[in-house]
């Protein structure tokens, strides 16, 4: 009788508990190991006795004794605290392809159920993992699906651990920190530990950004780590800009962010795989951009607060009459940045002149663009009783609350993205701009919308990223597919759902220092070219700089993605000649028209930029070289380091149009503050 009852219970579990397309696995016994293959020759091995797991690549153990760690009402719980283990495997098919979902269900009296989940695919050299808590009255702001005190990337030499910023504000820099001595590093959303010469590396990063901010902590020396963890719940005023701890989630089920874990023969390929995985996991909310890569101009480069209708229309004339070949898809964008309200007499003023400008652009075969920072209040120092545009709400009612005060940053005060006053203001301004006929909008200071808050107007929102999601989705909905969306200052990963273009770094202008600063972000963030339709190097300003410096600044933009200029083309100056010469060169424009960023050749430059980038475009190799110093420099780059075979390539330098022959290496002399682009057909 007992056997019959037990059999009925098992049948009940298989029929009513498991999903209909799940394949049940025998319940694990103490000492059992669950082997989970992924990629071509990798696997995860979960130890059901220790409640930990190891990660192997081609038979080599990379991560040892990893476990999950969560906090529930500030009580720390790890997977090692549990007694019972029940695995379930489910065949899945999603954006990543055909794969399997392994759920390791852990239980123990007195603790909420914990589930460690692995998503694996034979076609990808990485796996995805997450951890969930299930119970009653749960509350957490810290959830880690991977903590390990023993990691070996199987490569010792020029080892680095990469710091990736949360946003592109405050002229922050990426930093490939040397691990020659003991090093600690906390990176935002994604981290990489790699050896630069062999390029072997381990990549960990979140692929979900609508609930959590994610941190990646690494500690160790050379190729070995004594502490590695990735968790949802990261908050750091210097990085995420938050002045309070990460918001809490509560309920009967709480899930960590889903994270990407992969060991790669080339860390750069791993970062690109990570970028692509983000776009698969979080499909863009904004419509897909299928028109040509945008070229154009932005007024913040030089004109800035001196923006007038007369200056703007003269720029339009310059584009129409003097540089008609600076186009992609028969048009270019003329974008009015901050201070376009000089045309209107204020945000509540008369938009007639703004519409006249947009119409004038179109009459010249150009597309009008505009700017706005939808989640900031720049006038907060005046009076609390100012009435916001679009409603009777006061700005003081709409401010994000932090520690009983407010979130002030960059000279602006954050607005609660969930507040109806903020949303009515979006309605008002966006509708005015749509009526004017703008075809592009540059949105700025978006990080203000992601700030953690004491409380949000919408009580269902408890984290900064949930608030960001609500505000950005509302903005995209209101724009209604009528404009190209360009994000300036913004969270790096979370904005991928909402923008077509994102600026890779903070503001940059014309000097070689601006060029190097921008390229630091391209050096270690080029892979975001797969998160967005395009990434951008900010407006290119020539000014009165020497030609060499201008070549370098232009090249930094060409190899990043889009091409946006920024000089005052309403006035005469040296910059006009540079624009006529270079912005109509078809060989140079072809690079930007391809729309993808170049890959760095080296990743050992700390918080500086590498000097060599490369990319393959339509069967041709492009190598960009930079000399950031003041003295002449001789470059000698072996083809082997570029991943190329063969010798005796016939090449051309694109700025000078000079031919050169390449043997086993590219040998080029560059003067100080200069750049070159070498092109040759691949064999």
**Beta carbons of 623 and 613 less than 8 angstroms apart:** yes
Q: Is residue 168 within 8 Å of 505, Cβ to Cβ? A: yes
Residues paired with residue 69 on neighbouring β-strands, in sequence order: 78, 144
In a domain, 109, yes or no: yes
What is the rounded average pLDDT of the residues 182-195? 98
**Cα separations in angstroms, 196 against 106, 266, 603:** 39, 9, 6
- Could you give the maximum distance between any two Cα atoms of the chain, in Å? 98
Written as six digits, the tokens of 140 are 């957490």
Tell which wins on pLDDT, 654 or 19: 654
Any domain includes 113: yes
pLDDT computed for residue 382 by the predictor: 87
Sorting pLDDT into bands at 50, 70 and 90, what band is 498? very high
Is 102 contained in some domain? yes
Q: Supply the pLDDT for residue 1.
A: 38
Among candidate residues 248, 281, 314, the one where a domain is terminated: 281
Domain CATH for 172? 2.70.98.60
Distance of CA 487 to the CA centre of its chain: 11
Q: Which of 228, 246, 281 lies at the terminal end of a domain, its last residue? A: 281
* C-alpha closest to that of 150 among 85, 229, 216: 229
Complete DSSP assignment for 116-135: EEEEE-TT-SEEEEEEEEEE
Percent of the chain with pLDDT over 90: 93
State in Å, rounded, how far the first CA of the chain is from the last one: 75
State the average pLDDT over residues 326-347: 96
**Residue 16 per-residue DSSP state:** I
The rounded distance, in Å, linking the Cα atoms of 659 and 245 is 58
The token pair that represents 379 in the structure block: 């006038």
pLDDT tens for each residue of 116-146: 999 999 999 999 999 999 999 999 999 999 9
Domain boundary among 234, 260, 281: 281
The answer to whether residue 451 scores a pLDDT higher than 80 is yes
Residue range 617-643: mean pLDDT, rounded: 96
Structure tokens at 80: 């090692």
Which three-class secondary structure state does DSSP give residue 638?
strand
Asked whether residue 15 carries a pLDDT value surpassing 50, the answer given is no
**Token code pair at residue 221:** 């020396």
Q: Which residues constitute the domain of residue 260?
A: 21-281
Structural domains of the chain, count:
2
Give a yes or no: residue 49 inside a domain.
Answer: yes
In a domain, 546, yes or no: no
CA distance 352 to 355: 5
Mean pLDDT of 606-628: 97
- Identify the band that residue 424 occupies on the pLDDT scale cut at 50, 70 and 90: very high
Query: Rounded to an integer, what distance in angstroms lies between the CA atom of residue 398 and that of residue 376?
Result: 10
Q: pLDDT-derived band of residue 492, with 50, 70 and 90 as boundaries?
A: very high
- Residue 5 confidence class, pLDDT cut points 50, 70, 90: very low
Residue 11 has pLDDT above 50, yes or no: no
- Number of other CB atoms surrounding residue 650 within 10 Å: 10
pTM: 0.95
The pLDDT score that the predictor gives to residue 171 is 97
Euclidean distance between CA atoms 458 and 470, whole angstroms: 10
Q: Does residue 311 fall inside a structural domain? A: no
Who contacts 4 (Cβ-Cβ below 8 Å, separation ≥6)? none
In the predicted model, is pLDDT for residue 14 greater than 80? no
Q: Beta strand pairing status for 534-536 and 501-503?
A: parallel
Q: How far apart are CA 659 and CA 681, in angstroms?
A: 13
CA 332/CA 312 separation, integer angstroms: 14
Task: Please check the confidence at residue 12 and state whether its pLDDT lies above 60.
Answer: no
The pLDDT, as a whole number, for residue 443 is: 98
Question: What's the mean pLDDT in 281-300?
Answer: 97
Residue 398 pLDDT > 50: yes
**Tens of pLDDT, residues 583-597:** 999 999 999 999 999
CATH of the domain at 666: 2.60.40.1180
pLDDT of amino acid 30: 45
595: left (phi over 0), alpha (psi -120 to 50) or beta: left
Distance, in Å, from the CA atom of 638 to the CA atom of 286, rounded to the nearest integer, reads 42
Average pLDDT over residues 254-275: 98
The predicted pLDDT at position 13 comes to: 38
- Residue 175 CA to residue 358 CA, distance in Å, equals 42
Strands (E), 348-458: 367-372, 376-377, 401-402, 405-406, 408-409, 412-414, 440-443
Average pLDDT, the chain: 94
Give mean pLDDT, residues 405-432: 98
Give the percent of the chain with pLDDT over 70: 95
- In a domain? residue 593: no
Is 355 within the bounds of a domain? Answer: no
Q: What is the pLDDT of residue 31?
A: 56
CA proximity to 564, closest of 489, 508, 481: 508
Question: Which among 534, 553, 456, 444 is positioned nearest to 489, based on CA atoms?
Answer: 444
Which burial class, exposed, middle or buried, applies to 396 when counting CB atoms under 10 A from its CB (0-12, 13-18, 19+)?
A: middle
* 109 CB-near residues (< 8 Å, 6+ apart): none
The vertex-206 CA angle with 200 and 211, nearest 5°, equals 170
Banded pLDDT at 683 (limits 50, 70, 90) = confident
What lies within 8 Å, CB to CB, of 132 at 6+ separation is: 114, 115, 117, 253, 254, 255, 256
pLDDT, mean of residues 158-165 = 98
- Per-residue pLDDT band for 271 (boundaries 50, 70, 90) equals very high
pLDDT at 384: 79
**Is the pLDDT at 29 greater than 70, yes or no?**
no
Please give the structure tokens belonging to residue 24: 């049940």
Q: What is the mean pLDDT of residues 623-650?
A: 93
pLDDT digits (tens, 9 = 90+) for 509-538: 999 999 999 999 999 999 999 999 999 999
């Amino acid at each position: 009788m007992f056997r019959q009852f037990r059999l009925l219970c098992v049948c009940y579990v298989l029929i009513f508990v498991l999903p209909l397309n799940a394949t049940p696995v025998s319940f694990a016994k103490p000492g059992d190991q669950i082997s989970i293959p992924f990629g071509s020759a990798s696997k995860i091995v979960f130890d059901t006795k220790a409640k930990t797991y190891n990660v192997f690549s081609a038979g080599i153990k990379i991560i040892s004794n990893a476990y999950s760690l969560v906090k529930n009402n500030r009580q720390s719980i790890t997977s090692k605290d549990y007694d019972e283990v029940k695995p379930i495997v489910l065949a899945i098919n999603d954006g990543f392809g055909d794969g399997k979902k392994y759920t390791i269900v852990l239980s123990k009296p007195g603790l909420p159920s914990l589930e460690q989940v692995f998503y694996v695919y034979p076609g990808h050299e990485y796996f995805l993992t997450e951890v969930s808590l299930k119970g009653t009255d749960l509350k957490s702001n810290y959830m880690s699906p991977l903590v390990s005190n023993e990691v070996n990337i199987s490569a010792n030499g020029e080892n680095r651990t990469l710091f990736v910023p949360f946003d592109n504000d405050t002229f922050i820099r990426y930093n490939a920190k040397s691990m020659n001595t003991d090093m600690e590093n906390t990176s935002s959303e994604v981290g990489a530990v790699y050896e630069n010469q062999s390029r072997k590396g381990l990549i960990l990063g979140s692929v979900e950004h609508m609930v959590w901010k994610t941190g990646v902590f690494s500690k160790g020396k050379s190729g070995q780590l004594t502490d590695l963890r990735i968790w949802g719940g990261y908050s750091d005023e210097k990085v995420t800009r938050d002045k309070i701890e990460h918001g809490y989630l509560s309920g009967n089920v709480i899930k960590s962010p889903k994270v990407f874990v992969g060991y790669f023969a080339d860390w750069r390929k791993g970062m690109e795989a990570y970028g692509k995985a983000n776009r698969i996991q979080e499909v863009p909310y904004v419509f897909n951009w299928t028109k040509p890569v945008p070229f154009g101009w932005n007024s913040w480069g030089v004109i800035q607060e001196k923006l007038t209708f007369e200056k703007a229309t003269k720029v339009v004339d310059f584009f129409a009459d003097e540089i008609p070949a600076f186009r992609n898809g028969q048009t270019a964008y003329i974008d009015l940045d901050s201070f376009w309200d000089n045309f209107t007499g204020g945000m509540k003023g008369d938009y007639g002149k703004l519409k006249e400008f947009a119409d004038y652009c179109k009459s010249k075969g150009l597309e009008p663009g505009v700017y706005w920072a939808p989640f900031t209040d720049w006038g907060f120092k005046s009076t609390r009783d100012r009435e916001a545009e679009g409603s009777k709400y006061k700005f003081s009612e709409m401010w994000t609350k932090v520690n009983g005060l407010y979130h002030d940053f960059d000279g602006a005060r954050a607005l609660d993205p969930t507040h109806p006053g903020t949303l009515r203001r979006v309605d008002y301004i966006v509708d005015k701009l749509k009526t004017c006929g703008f075809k592009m909008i540059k949105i700025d200071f978006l990080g203000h919308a992601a700030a953690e808050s004491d409380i949000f107007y919408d009580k269902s929102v408890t984290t900064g990223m949930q608030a960001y999601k609500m505000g950005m989705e509302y903005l995209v909905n209101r724009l209604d597919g009528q404009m190209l969306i360009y994000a300036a200052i913004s969270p790096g990963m979370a904005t991928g759902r909402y923008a077509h273009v994102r600026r890779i770094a903070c503001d940059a202008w014309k000097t070689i220092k601006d060029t190097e600063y921008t390229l630091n972000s391209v050096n270690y963030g080029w892979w975001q070219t797969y998160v967005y339709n395009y990434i951008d190097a900010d407006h290119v300003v020539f000014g009165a700089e020497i030609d060499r410096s201008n070549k370098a600044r232009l090249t930094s933009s060409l190899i990043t993605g889009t091409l946006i200029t920024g000089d005052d083309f309403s006035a005469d100056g040296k910059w006009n000649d540079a624009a006529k010469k270079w912005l109509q060169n078809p060989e140079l424009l072809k690079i930007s028209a391809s729309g993808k960023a170049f890959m760095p050749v080296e990743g050992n430059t700390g918080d500086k930029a590498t000097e060599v980038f490369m990319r393959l475009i339509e069967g041709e190799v492009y190598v960009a070289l930079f000399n950031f110093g003041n003295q002449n420099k001789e470059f000698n780059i072996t083809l082997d380091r570029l991943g190329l075979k063969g010798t005796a390539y016939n090449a051309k330098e694109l700025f000078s149009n000079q031919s050169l022959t390449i043997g086993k290496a590219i040998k080029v002399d560059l003067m100080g503050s200069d750049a070159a682009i070498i092109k040759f057909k691949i064999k």
